[in-house]
Amino acid sequence: MSDISSSDKFNIFAFKQANIRTLHITWFAFFMTFVVWLGLGPIMPFISEALSLTDQQAKVLLILNVAMTIPSRIIVGMLVDKFGPRIMFSSILILGGLISIAFAWANSYETLAILRFLSGFIGAGFVVGIRMIGEWFPAKQTGLAQGIYGGWGNFGSAGAAVSLPFIAASIGGDNGWRYAITFASIAAISYGIFYYIVARNTPQGSTYFKPKKTGAMEVTSKGDLILYMLMNIPLFLALGLLTWKLSPTNMGLISELSAFIVYIILVSIYVVQVWKIWHVNSHILKEPVPEMQRYKFKQVAILDFAYFITFGTELAVVSMLAMFYVEWFDIPKVSAALMAGIYPFINLFARPGGGWISDIIGRKRTLLIAFAGITASFLILGLVDKSWSIWMVVSMTIMGGVFSKGGSGAVYAMVPLIQRRMTGQIAGMAGAFGNVGAVLFLTVNSLISYDQFFLFIGIMSSIVLVLIFFFLEEPKGQMAETLPDGTVQMIDVK
């Protein structure tokens, strides 16, 4: 039996098909990374009570939990293209689980902070599955497959919210949270071993294309080389923004000297990154890349900005929505939490839906619809005041969530169709931009009112909508990939 079904029909329950089995074991691997990574939020009240943490100390742990994810998604994207998703997903689950266990049994706050910072790399597991699914599904089905992978895997955050507090409360005492995190971590380690045994990087007989060089993404024109260097700047600015939030001018949890040292390190790393980009790509100035092997980096850049909006909005809104309902409409906290809880559940159908629609009507057209919906929804929410009906506001936030999560599905429906051998790096860069968006939006939310926050998202979305309309190109025809023996193979992107 062939690894990939020749049928045009996509049957999610066809477990006899190797590609469908690969989809299921891979989205659950992503699910487990999110349980371990984002389980910190719902378990934080137990940790704070057991260790007598201050509100500021708890906030710092939450910030540190996402800081490492930004550079990690870039690095993991490079590594998955080089070593393959099978070993990378297994390694992230096993190593991430071990770090999480160490965090669970740490006693000093300094140790907790260091281990939580290191745990941020678990969030890069998402990138690995994008490459895996891209290998196992044809272009006409990749949107739906990537949407299911992303949407169902993202639900790991909800899985953590439902299970970990229940386990901690059931065990009770000061160590309940430790056992809850440990059990989840052991499950992740076990699944990492299982994934290594069961998964394969490609269907039988297929070639796993790798970049010719590592350390930076390959570009194919002089203009793209400059654009690539510029597109790295927001990643470092986001880390600088996180440092500022911890500095004496904001939360006051690190000294001015420490903040200054971090800024210097970030600038230095950026300079090194620019040198690496030049080292990998300077040859194109002397010897132009053959036309058939070129791709347009502007496609990557626009998808980065698109995910900046879609996933950045998702993380930011889910973080503030319950508090917004409480403060603006004076409703009970439990009721607010239940209404806000609708937002992450949308992922189950909206993200796969965005990918599925992309397969049917096209990648660019789907992104235009998604961003028109995001823009309209959040501009309307920007007009909200306390006289509005709570149910009208809830409906608008749900509508905004449907479009933003559907947009995320549409972004990653297109990512594998740009350049196969660099799918991991492209996915990693877009994923990192999603976290950059979350950092920016959450920072803005802390500085302005809720209605202005929604308005800011709507305006930013409208800018990206214009970029998509004028500059994004629909994938079509074929992409050229070079085999290890130097011959060129054409791959359909229709």
Strand 488-492 with 478-482, pairing: antiparallel
Q: How far apart are CA 352 and CA 314, in angstroms?
A: 15
The pair of three-digit structure tokens given for residue 357, joined into one six-digit string: 């629609």
pLDDT digits (tens, 9 = 90+) for 83-128: 999 999 999 999 999 999 999 999 999 899 899 989 989 999 999 9
DSSP single-letter state for residue 240: H
For the chain, the average pLDDT equals 89
Q: Are 120 and 6 in contact (CB under 8 A)?
A: no
Top-level CATH class of 18-198? mainly alpha
Q: Are 26 and 129 in contact (CB under 8 A)?
A: yes
- Domain ranges in the chain? 18-198, 293-492
pLDDT digits (tens, 9 = 90+) for 345-383: 888 899 999 999 999 999 999 999 999 999 999 999 999
Q: How far apart are CA 421 and CA 135, in angstroms?
A: 10
Give the chain's radius of gyration (CA, Å). Answer: 22
% residues pLDDT > 90 (the chain):
57
The pair of three-digit structure tokens given for residue 247, joined into one six-digit string: 């500095």
Angle, CA of 436, 442 and 444, to the nearest 5°: 100
Q: Which of 13, 26, 241, 15 is nearest to 129 (CA)?
A: 26
User: In which band, very low, low, confident or very high, does the pLDDT at 80 lie, cut at 50, 70 and 90?
Assistant: very high
3-class SS shares of the chain: helix, strand, coil, % to 5: 75, 0, 20
More confident residue, 6 or 477: 477
Q: Are 125 and 428 in contact (CB under 8 A)?
A: no
pLDDT at 489 over 60: no
Q: Which of 156, 17, 134, 145 is nearest to 85 (CA)?
A: 134
pLDDT digits (tens, 9 = 90+) for 134-193: 999 988 898 999 999 999 998 888 888 888 888 998 998 889 999 999 999 999 999 999
* Structure confidence at residue 185 (pLDDT): 97
Secondary element (H or E) of residue 197: helix 176-198
436-455 burial, b if ≥16 CB within 10 A, otherwise e?
Answer: bbbbbbbbebeeeebbebbb
Q: How many CB atoms lie within 10 A of CB 45?
A: 13
The reply to whether domains 18-198 and 293-492 share a CATH topology is yes
Q: How many CB atoms lie within 10 A of CB 471?
A: 12
User: In which band, very low, low, confident or very high, does the pLDDT at 8 lie, cut at 50, 70 and 90?
Assistant: low
State which amino acid sits at residue 479. Answer: M
Q: How far apart are CA 167 and CA 162, in angstroms?
A: 9
CA 347 to chain centre: 13
Give CA torsion, residues 158, 159, 161, 165, to 10 deg: 170
Secondary element (H or E) of residue 227: helix 222-231
| Long-range contacts (CB closer than 8 Å, 24 or more residues apart) made by 54-58 | 56/251, 56/253, 57/109
Q: Helix or strand or coil: residue 491?
A: strand
Top-level CATH class of 293-492? mainly alpha
